[in-house]
Amino acid sequence: MYRFLECMADGYMTRAVTTVTRQVTMRQLEALFEKYDFNSFPVVEDEKMIGIVTKFDFLRAFVFTTGRMVPDYDELMRRPVAEMMTEAVIHVGPTTYLTRVLELMVSHTTRSLPVLSSDQRLVGIISREDVMRALREATQDAGRPRQGASARTPKRSRPE
């Protein structure tokens, strides 16, 4: 388990990230959600991350309110992602320890976090599955006797 304490985001993140631009329409976004079965897409412009759009953001566009009882589906589907995306994004850096990544995921109930360089460029994304893989790999030898060590339980000495 101690090995997990040394793991960082860059060792487990996905580097090839599927992104969208702010001009992508809701209709195009729906097709991307269907194709990839991702929960979110980073919104990138000029190689920098400017926001994120989630399935929750997509669904929020269809909320019925007193001012808009029956949203016009076609009109909503023509809207750009820029109108629905979240601009304030919780993110981590490549050298962020996975203990911190895990803490952020749990406290914000998020499935993944973008990994940004110091100049806000998207360099990867780290998911719950990545953290689970790191935990599994870091603890795979836990509970096994060390090579050359006896499998017997050592005798306890009596207190004096």
pLDDT digits (tens, 9 = 90+) for 71-123: 678 888 999 999 999 999 999 999 999 999 999 999 999 999 999 999 989 99
Q: CA 58 → CA 23, 100, 149, 155, distances in Å?
A: 14, 28, 56, 62
- Which amino acid, residue 28? Q
pLDDT digits (tens, 9 = 90+) for 48-68: 999 999 999 999 888 777 666
Residue 2 is predicted with a pLDDT of: 77
> Taking residues 3-12, what's their average pLDDT?
91
Residue 141 above 90 pLDDT? no
CA angle 45, 116, 119 (to 5 degrees): 70
Binned at pLDDT 50, 70 and 90, residue 138 comes out as: confident
**Which segments of 31-127 are extended strands (E)?**
40-45, 48-54, 112-116, 122-127
What structural domains does the chain harbor? 2-139 (3.10.580.10)
Residue 64 is predicted with a pLDDT of: 73
pLDDT digits (tens, 9 = 90+) for 39-49: 999 999 988 99
